[in-house]
Structure 1
């Protein structure tokens, strides 16, 4: 038996960890075909009011199972690979918070280190001068930590695309608030999750949340819990940028007000509820105080309401309320439905009853306490409001009111507001890359440069440390690999896949740079020299989690797309669906004959081969064996690690 090198060993450990502690963690991901069938059947069962009533009585009162819901809970994880890789179970000391009835709480939290943390520790990067080390250390200390705070019924996995992007230039921390996400009041064996939470930690989390009183769920007390989490996880001299969604925006505002002056650099507020001058209870689900009071006194009625509300499945009101009334993508509806199923009714009622809106005076104090460094060149727009034009829960007017209030109060522009068309309350689910790009662009252009919240700055520092801006890990190994695969085929070459596997490109490389790759496919003198490849490369999909060691802007013809996946982990169902949708979108919008899409992670074997095979099986109808063998012949030795191949057979070979 051959020995594993350190890199392979770490990959196996990561895969084992990401399998999760759920009893169903190793079951096959949800089959699209079966999901479509179950979703259609459930919609047909509830097509008329009478058929819906019959179904409601059967499920709500007679104990019949809802096959669609059970299948989704067992096969669709509520969290994601990014959270699974970086999450841990954390106990938070609350003894300094007298308004809370508990002295400690255990929650599921996340910490993604700054991308330069490990890079600077690498023995190969220790040739810096003392002055350079001091300079980098100082700049890193000034770079703030990004804190993600979800809303009512949410979880930190909802921030996955944004956390993945911003973790390329900053340290990230987050937590699942008590009762939500994987900070559950009760764990069920038939509900799939990916995070590696031991049974002991599951019991510890649930036991600590069960001790909480209704009073503990009031917004100010939730703020106190988050405050203690930050105080115990973040050093005193480290600054913060708070990023909240929905109720999390009001927690962020109150938190910025509570933290020490200068601790917070800025806030990103997504889908904020309206900020009021006076504190008010948030409206109930039916937006009538009488109904809300009835639910709080008789929670079982709220359970019945929720059964009715989601009875039509993926197109039910419970989903369209969060997304849009019409034209929701199947995957987005599925993901939202899964998150809805994850929410405990009693937890929702406790948060709703205890919700106290942030006031305009809270917002004013929070912004006044930002770390406005005297050395800053000018006034920055360090509060960003983002809302969806189709938001049915909080509306889009709140972002304009908040922005206008700050401008009127300060007498100058200190914030920005962005309305995103054709999206509802769940912004990052519907347009993840677009909205993440808006936020990164705002941080890079509207926040002080001294914060170094930019992937470009990270590349600059890496160049200073290693002497090469476009440095690669294991460069010798990378250099020896086949740059681009041959065509991936089956049936003796009669069927050709529209994709090529690649190793990552490198800026300025003599053989495999953006310029050279374009030259290979678009220079008439060299096209015939690409042996084993038929077609035109129209796009490259970068599935790595890192900043690429080349500039996408170097491409003049080929289009660059980022579809990040977590390194050392088999891509999860969310990643697979995003990848397939992206490939379909690229091909459907191209009129190039024999169009090809290049796909790369770092070396172009495991994650690259896995996702290409998923596309070949799901979209083109290849068998798993045909897909695996086709990729192996095109880019020897193919998928290298057996657990990636095993995952394909578990998923598709039934």
Structure 2
């Protein structure tokens, strides 16, 4: 029986369907059994390819993470572009076959990623690449996007954007690196014991709360517990060791990217942090912003509480206990729990662009022909950053309460600063020009009456309200059609009521064919019949049940045949007081026709709640 933490058994269907296990060889190592997720855009062949196809989105997970952590984001972004994600060696579903520690250094992993990306990128068409990295993956993405010597491939020339989620600002001090190297020399069985102790309590353990917070919802805690248990200690130690640079004559070589790497970036960069992130605190985003914009020099001293190694599912706690995150001065961005952090300095050398006001809605198409947005092979450098407010943590990319906001922020940034061709609304509009929703069909739709003639004397068909309609507000629609002459046509209802008595069987047949002006007379007749029923002598044993049933049946007749707001409202109120089943009351509303239903909905909000 498979373990509940088995990465194959717990792999989401989207990832499972579009993944394959492959072997890749770099200049130094051969990595067998790597899981590669690739989902090509379903309409890629129909979208424009001049001067290049829509960019390829590449997802890079962090230390101890996996492709599965990107699943919620991939669910949203696979509909706008081709997506590629890789489980690094020994992570997720990839095999841990290569045991050499040198195979897990930062340089070795960057070369491996370059090889895989070049294998899937449409090189002959000049396709660009947008790198999306989380935690340590953001550092690997920065190395891929920056020019390096010697260059392994020409990939950095085709990177058109970088999105860093919970990034780390770079290298710790030489003294701290020495301490961490000593900790990594601890035997593996001690590390495993430490992990077991840290994971006590399952989804409520310290290990889980470190990433998602103690107040996170149960689904976020379940996912974090899953990822923590899938993290391999041997792989984590090797990658953590590879992230640490070596010092030659006091100069750091290798390891995580430093200021020199970040400031060389010449592409649009979007930095996202979480206010409650205890692994890579929000101030790390501010430091990277300063690197990119070159406003001032940041000291190499690491503040207390800053993580030297940013991880996604670490076996041990690498953040100093009791550390507090310094509050960052930031500017609100308009989201109720999202704060921006990079738009407050007007003297930045790098231009910080804001989304255009009044931009077209990305989902609802309009009748106008879709213009072709520009696609630059080398977009202008733009630096934007945002700190998502509580409860955003280091796990914000798979926490249900934050991932939808994150997906929207990423999509907006790519549309505004990389290319408008990544907008889902534009793609739908462009693809629909060949006939499904063209001007001819739009005119046909506009020619259809909003409300049909009565169907069977009871029902009316109502068109779906669209944003492009002249009147698409439900309240305005009700005002226009409820009082019109078309909705006061004759209703003919014949209802047969049968009342069982202990002494005799009585039948009451009520027939109404009157128009609305005569509804008061019909109401009086119905009330008279109701009084006749209530005066009848009930059976001693079942009297209350029979009387309630008779009274409800007559009130149903009054509601169905009502043509004025007063009669309908009063009868339905009496029905509600009679405590009849909600399903039966809903059936009455449907039989009463659209006019009576709209009168009820527009007049009483509490009644609509009783039907739910």
Measured against the shorter chain, the TM-score band is: 0.5 to 0.7
- Counterpart for residue 14 of structure 2: 82
State yes or no: 1:182 paired with 2:93: yes
Aligned to 2:109: 222
Q: Does 1:144 align with 2:34?
A: no
Deviation at 1:361, TM superposition (A): 1.2
Cα displacement (A) at 1:280: 6.5
Deviations 1:249-296 (A, max 9, x none): 0000001125535310010000111234x887987xxxx926x53443
Contact between 1:153 and 1:343, CA under 8 Å: does it hold in 2? yes
Task: Identify the match of residue 235 of structure 2 among 326, 330, 347.
Answer: 347
Within 2, Cα distance between the matches of 1:321 and 1:454? 35
Note the C-alpha offset of 1:393: 0.8
Residues 439-460 of structure 1: CA distance to partner in whole angstroms, max 9, x if unpaired? Answer: 11222223343xx111012112
Q: Distance in 1 between matches of 2:210 and 2:279?
A: 7
Give the 5 Å matches for 1:303-342: 303-324=192-213, 326-342=214-230
RMSD: 3.8
Q: How many residues align?
A: 372
Partner of 2:166: 271
Q: Distance in 2 between matches of 1:230 and 1:281?
A: 36
The 1:352–1:506 alpha-carbon spacing in structure 2 relative to 1, beyond 3 Å, is farther
Match of 1:91 in 2: 23
Report the equivalent of 2:426: 457
- SS across alignment from 2:157: coil
Q: Distance in 1 between matches of 2:440 and 2:17?
A: 25
Which residue number corresponds to residue 171 of structure 1?
Answer: 82
* Distance of 1:454 and 1:468 partners within structure 2: 18
Q: Which has the higher contact order (CA 8 A, sep 6+)?
A: 1
* Cα distance between partner residues in 2 of 1:429 and 1:112: 19
Structure 2: distance between partners of 1:317 and 1:471: 62
1:316–1:281 Cα change, 3 Å: farther
Q: Which structure has the larger Rg?
A: 2
- Asked if 1 retains the 8 angstrom alpha-carbon contact of 2:350 and 2:383, the reply is no
Q: 1:168 to 1:517 in 2, by over 3 A?
A: farther
**Pair 165,352 (structure 1): closer, same or farther in 2 beyond 3 Å:** same
**Aligned equivalent of 1:116:** 43
Deviation at 1:327, TM superposition (A): 1.0
Aligned 8 A contact 1:272 1:399 in 2: yes
Query: Structure 1, residues 98-139: CA drift from partner, whole Å, max 9, x if none?
Result: xx3x23433101111113136x4xxxxxxxxxxxxxx83326
| Within-5 A mapping of 1:55-454 | 72-73=4-5, 77-94=9-26, 97=27, 100=28, 102-117=29-44, 120=46, 136-138=48-50, 141-185=52-96, 210-236=97-123, 237-257=126-146, 258=148, 260=154, 261-276=156-171, 289=179, 293-324=182-213, 326-355=214-243, 356-365=255-264, 367-368=265-266, 370=267, 382-408=268-294, 411-413=349-351, 414-422=382-390, 423-430=392-399, 431-449=402-420, 452-454=421-423
Deviation of 1:506 (Å): 9.7
TM-score, length of structure 2 as denominator length:
0.54
CA contact (8 A) 1:386 1:417 kept: yes
Shift of 1:400: 1.3
Q: How far off is 1:225 after superposition?
A: 0.6
Q: Relative to 1, partners in 2 of residues 1:392 and 1:593: Cα closer, same or farther, differing over 3 Å?
A: same
- 8 Å contact kept, 2:6–2:230: no
Q: Deviation per CA, 1:10-56, whole angstroms, max 9, x where unpaired?
A: xxxxxxxxxxxxx54xxxxxxxxxxxxxxxxxxxxxxxxxxxxxxxx
- For 1:612-654, what per-residue CA distance to the aligned partner results, in whole angstroms no more than 9, with x for missing partners? xxxxxxxxxxxxxxxxxxxxxxxxxxxxxxxxxxxxxxxxxxx
Q: 1 CA distance for matches of 2:99 and 2:31?
A: 10
Contact 1:388 1:395 in 2 (8 A): yes
Q: Work out whether residues 113 and 171 of structure 1, in 8 Å CA contact, stay in contact via their aligned partners in 2.
A: yes
**Cα displacement (A) at 1:387:** 0.6
8 Å CA contact 1:218, 1:351 repeated in 2: yes
CA distance 1:173–1:523, change in 2 (3 Å): farther
The offset of 1:405, in angstroms, is 2.6
Question: Is the CA contact (8 Å cut-off) linking 1:332 and 1:429 kept in structure 2?
Answer: yes
Change in 2 beyond 3 A, CA 1:115/1:346? same
Structure having the higher helix fraction is 1
CA distance in 1, matches of 2:237, 2:199: 17
Q: Distance in 1 between matches of 2:173 and 2:439?
A: 52
Unaligned runs of 5+ in 1: 1-22, 25-69, 121-134, 186-209, 371-381, 473-504, 536-589, 597-654
Q: Distance in 1 between matches of 2:388 and 2:206?
A: 22
CA contact (8 A) 1:223 1:251 kept: yes
Is this contact kept in 1: 2:202–2:225, CA < 8 A? yes
* Distance of 2:58 and 2:175 partners within structure 1: 26
1:555-634 matches, within 5 Å, as 593-594=609-610
Contact 2:24 2:116 in 1 (8 A): yes
Q: Is the 8 A contact 1:388 1:396 kept in 2?
A: yes
Partner of 1:632: none
CA distance 1:459–1:391, shift in 2 (3 Å): same
2:166–2:280 contact (8 Å) kept in structure 1: yes
Q: Secondary structure at the match of 1:137?
A: coil
Query: Using a 3 Å threshold, how does the CA distance of structure 1 residues 522 and 86 change in structure 2: closer, same or farther?
Result: farther
Question: How far off its partner does 1:507 sit?
Answer: 5.6
- How far does residue 415 in structure 1 lie from its aligned partner after superposition? 0.5
Q: Secondary structure at the match of 1:117?
A: coil
**Which whole-Å CA distance do the structure 2 matches of 1:281 and 1:247 have between them?**
21
Distance in 2, Cα, partners of 1:110 & 1:143: 18
* Shift, 1:520, TM fit: 9.4
